[in-house]
Amino acid sequence: MSRLAKKPTAAGKADVSVAQGVLTVKGSKGTLTKRVHPSVGITIDAGQVTIAPLDRSRLAKALTGTFASHVKNMVKGVETPFTKKLILEGVGYRVELKGKDIVLTVGFSHTVPLTIPEDVTATVEKNAIKLESINKESLGQFAANIRRVKPPEPYLGKGIRYEGEVIRRKQGKKAV
């Protein structure tokens, strides 16, 4: 069993409940729900959430750590939202918000529209995209989808990168 699952998670100010295989976490910023795998048991007592395997299978042992991490992220997210910032680098690279879409102009012959998920809020400042959500999983997936449109390339460094991400630069052709 994972070390993370052996320690109980503090619920803090969030209200955590489990009913009919669905974990619900309510906080000041919103409510998150997640289906619980049948081989994982979640118990709540005195503001502490404990995760334990219900059988001795390898899958149950692996999922206890996974669900411990999910519970920890859900509790943290409903108290303070998660944020990610993406930066566009390159001449002529632009981003704009159009309704519920982010429209990227990143050197292709066409613009690339991406629909923003319901639980993610996006703001655009010049060539930076700031994403915010209480759900860490959907925030990370949407940020990865944006980055996948034009990942940073190693020669000129053009592309979409996370704030603080270091791009390993390569040397170009050498003149003999």
Q: What's the pLDDT tens digit per position in 91-111? A: 999 999 999 999 999 999 999
Say how many domains are in the chain: 2
Residue 145 has pLDDT above 80, yes or no: yes
Structural domain ending residue among the three candidates 16, 47, 79: 79
Residue 101 lies in a domain: yes
pLDDT of residue 1: 61
The Cα-based distances of 5 to 101, 106, 134 in angstroms read 38, 43, 22
Same domain flag for 75 and 106: no
8-12, 41-45, 89-93, 127-131: lowest mean pLDDT where?
Answer: 8-12
Which residue range is the domain that position 49 belongs to?
A: 3-79
Q: What's the pLDDT tens digit per position in 19-54? A: 999 999 999 999 999 999 999 999 998 889 999 999
Residue 167 lies in a domain: no
Report which of 142, 152, 94, 154 is spatially closest to residue 114, judged by C-alpha positions: 142
Structural domain ending residue among the three candidates 45, 79, 113: 79
Same domain flag for 8 and 61: yes
Same domain flag for 96 and 151: yes
